[in-house]
Amino acid sequence: MTFLLLVALAVAVPLGFRVAPHLRRVGPALWVRARFDPAVHGLPPREEVDAHRAGPPLPAYRSKEVTAIAHDAWEGHWRPAAAYAEAAGQEWDERWSRLEVLQQIADRGDTWLHDWLRAEPDDGTAATVHAQLLVHRAWAIRGDGYAHSVPAGRMARFMVQLNAAMDAARTAASLAPEDPGPWVVMVTAARGLRYERDEFRPLWKELVTRAPHHYAGHRQAMEYWCAKWAGTNKLMMEFAERAAHDVPAGSPLAGIYLHALHELTRRSGPSALPSSPAAKDLLESVARSLNQVPDDDQQAPPLRHLLAHYLVKARRYDAALEQFRLIGPWCGAEPWTKERDPVAAFDLARGIAATRARQN
């Protein structure tokens, strides 16, 4: 059921208000427009809401840097890419983010990467980017549908490519034994290769031994433990809750819990959402954790959209309103982009938060 229909019908009582018959006729979106003035609540006007981005664009200097590295790479110069990765040092989340940029560049043209591998065969960074590229291309072959919807030929190619990615990641791990990056690739590939839980756990242990709070690693492991793959709703939620309770300041790791909620509702519907006071308190704890994430962290904007959405559903309207203020005029992220009119869905949710918040 879509978000708008859910608010209009099933969630009218859980959200704390009843929609009068005449308002049912005009619809909740019109009700919000009639009662909700964004400016009064410190929010951008609906005319400025942008459904094309989750948050503000990269700062100009960072965009120029990435563009220059891409152009250099496609012209056959791999050294700027290598320097870009090495500049992250052992800040593992930042390093992974940079390696993802290089993987995306290689996906559009990888001659430079093969030149790098030939010139520096013992370079663990080059080997890790290569493994990332292989696992990315494997999942592109498969697509994101359920297994029964994937043609046999594509599934066979997917498995061949995933095995190649796993082998490449093991090579990268031997070349860069301190780097968690190759283990993130292995955890990702293990899901598609249908590793048993006893096979998966040693990979996970190796990853968190190197980087206990690695965001991308936790995101991939959460997917492994979901019911679609090797786990269950219960195992996934337990994993996500542990991650949300063990977050260093400035890390977006608590957002794993939001991804788990999103996966839970996609598979089992909104009624599966945890509704206990402890679960609602955990959402507010996630909000406090995300509020410590630096403004330029690109993981934060999509997480704030999910957080605001689930805070509204939990009737924690004050906390939701705070997130909508931090989000600003952007709504190009799930859950809004799953709706026919993302701006209307976003405006309805923030209108509910604003008009129900106690501080008003």
**What's the structural domain count of the chain?**
1
Given a cut of 70, whether residue 19 has pLDDT beyond it is: no
The answer to whether residue 159 is domain-embedded is: yes
Given a cut of 50, whether residue 2 has pLDDT beyond it is: no
Residue 318: pLDDT band by 50, 70, 90 thresholds?
very high
In tens, the pLDDT along 99-148 reads: 999 999 999 999 999 999 999 999 999 999 999 999 999 999 998 888 88
Predicted structure pTM score: 0.90
Find the largest Cα–Cα distance for the chain: 72
The answer to whether residue 166 is domain-embedded is: yes
The answer to whether residue 94 is domain-embedded is: yes
Given a cut of 60, whether residue 15 has pLDDT beyond it is: no
Residue 29: pLDDT band by 50, 70, 90 thresholds?
low
Which pLDDT does position 33 carry in this prediction?
73
Q: Which of 224, 241, 230, 237 is nearest to 265 (CA)?
A: 237
Report how far residue 12's alpha carbon sits from residue 18's, in angstroms, rounded to the nearest whole number. Answer: 5
Residue 47: pLDDT band by 50, 70, 90 thresholds?
very high
Which pLDDT does position 144 carry in this prediction?
83
With beta carbons less than 8 A apart as the criterion, state whether 305 and 331 touch: yes
Q: Give the structural domain span for 91.
A: 59-213
The answer to whether residue 17 is domain-embedded is: no
The answer to whether residue 360 is domain-embedded is: no
In tens, the pLDDT along 322-336 reads: 999 999 999 999 999
The answer to whether residue 226 is domain-embedded is: no
Given a cut of 50, whether residue 42 has pLDDT beyond it is: yes
98: domain CATH number? 1.25.40
Report how far residue 128's alpha carbon sits from residue 96's, in angstroms, rounded to the nearest whole number. Answer: 10
The answer to whether residue 203 is domain-embedded is: yes
The answer to whether residue 297 is domain-embedded is: no
Residue 35: pLDDT band by 50, 70, 90 thresholds?
confident
Handedness of CA 13, 18, 23, 29 (dihedral sign): negative
Given a cut of 60, whether residue 7 has pLDDT beyond it is: no
Amino acid in the structure at residue 269 = G
Peptide bond preceding 277 in cis form (omega within 30 of 0): no
